Amino acid sequence: MKIKHLALAFVAMGAANMAMADTGTINFTGQVIQDSCATALTGGASATAVTLATVNRTALATAGDTANETAFSLDVTGCEGADARGVHFTLTPASFDTTNNSLIANTGTATNVGIEIARGTIGSSTPYAFAGAAASSGNVAITGATAGTGSLPLTAKYKATGNATAGTVLAALGWTLVYD
């Protein structure tokens, strides 16, 4: 009888230890991509800068006046197979103009002027309506089956939000390459 009680006590101790065990699940996520495009800025003064020509403040005397449209592009190379699924850029201004939130804010000393970014070439571009948020560039056409290349033509120009004053114009536009 004592042996029976001892055996039951050991079984109860083992069951108690099992009740204290904890379990869980670890989920892993990742991504394998078909390719990785390389990017470059073309038409800029450097790999990271676009210089707009100097403008007389009288050209920006009234809200809505624009001046000195400058062409540049974000180019991609090495996009093997990317055309089938799409490649685009997300464009994110560092800050937005407080009068017109579709313009990139000027952080320089000139007042009542921002930078308008548009897709297309000079004279036939469509401004991005940022409306205070990032904008998608739309897919970039990729050519070449094995070493695909493409270009996103863009323009930048001064845009008045009132009677502009003389001074420096500084603005920043971030971009992210996105694979669909």
pLDDT of residue 10: 47
For the cut 50, the answer to whether the pLDDT of residue 8 exceeds it is no
The tens digit of pLDDT for each residue in 45-72 reads 777 889 999 999 999 999 999 999 999 9
pLDDT of 83 > 60? The answer is no
Q: What is the pLDDT of residues 112-122, one digit of tens each?
A: 999 999 999 99
Q: How high is the pLDDT of residue 127?
A: 95
Residue 144 confidence (pLDDT) = 73
Write down the mean pLDDT value for the chain.
83
Q: What is the 3-state secondary structure (H, E, C) of the chain?
A: CHHHHHHHHHHHHHHHHHHCCCCCCCCCCCCCCCCCCEEEEECCCECCECCCCCCCHHHHCCCCCEEEEEEEEEEEECCCCHHHCCEEEEEEECCECCCCCCCECCCCCCCCEEEEEEEEECCEEEECCCCCCCEECCCCCCECCCCCEEEEEEEEEEEECCCCCCCCCCCCEEEEEEEC
Mean predicted confidence (pLDDT) in 134-155: 85
Which pLDDT score is estimated for 135?
Answer: 94
Q: Is the pTM of this model over 0.85?
A: no
pLDDT in tens, 84-118: 567 889 999 999 999 999 999 999 999 999 999 99
